[in-house]
Amino acid sequence: MTDALDDRYGRRTGRRRLSPALLVGIVVGAPFLAWVAWVWWTYSTPDVQSQDAGFSVVSAHLTEAEIVVTLSDDAVDPSCRVQALAADKTPVGDLTFTPVAGTNHVKIKTEREATAIDLVGCTAEGQNQAR
């Protein structure tokens, strides 16, 4: 029975060749997937991460904030930025500081009384996105 089917429909012999479309997909797709993995890894493991742990308004011209910073061993020249905001959400104070690992207590001088703070984030050399 198998011989009859082979005679009727033909049987391929030898190795099967890769189609040109599959070959192009592999040549283009492999480097693209490697690039995507590299970008994902780079942005998911920043050298500096920060989180606001609270603030208090000391006076009409001074606000204190607690910023928790996590530094990796590779962090070079870390820098953090925090803003004090008035009731109408306009910035009334701005502070850029060099953090240490752990909780950082900072004092922000303000033009008028602040009602909130905005942790813009922290960066290190080679890290463009503030975290």
Query: What is the spatial distance between Cα 94 and Cα 80, in angstroms, rounded to a whole number?
Result: 11
For residue 127, the one-letter residue type is Q
Cα R_g (the chain), whole angstroms: 29
DSSP letter, residue 111: S
Structural domains of the chain in order of their starting residue, each with its CATH number: 48-123 (2.60.40)
Reported pTM? 0.66
Q: Between residues 36 and 123, which one has the greater pLDDT?
A: 36
Burial classification of residue 94, based on how many CB atoms lie within 10 Å of its CB (0-12 exposed, 13-18 middle, 19 or more buried): middle
- In this predicted model, what pLDDT tens digit does every residue of 24-50 receive, in sequence order? 888 899 999 999 998 888 777 777 888
CB 109 within 8 A of CB 93: yes
Dihedral, 98, 104, 110, 116 alpha carbons, nearest 10: 120
Query: What is the spatial distance between Cα 131 and Cα 124, in angstroms, rounded to a whole number?
Result: 10
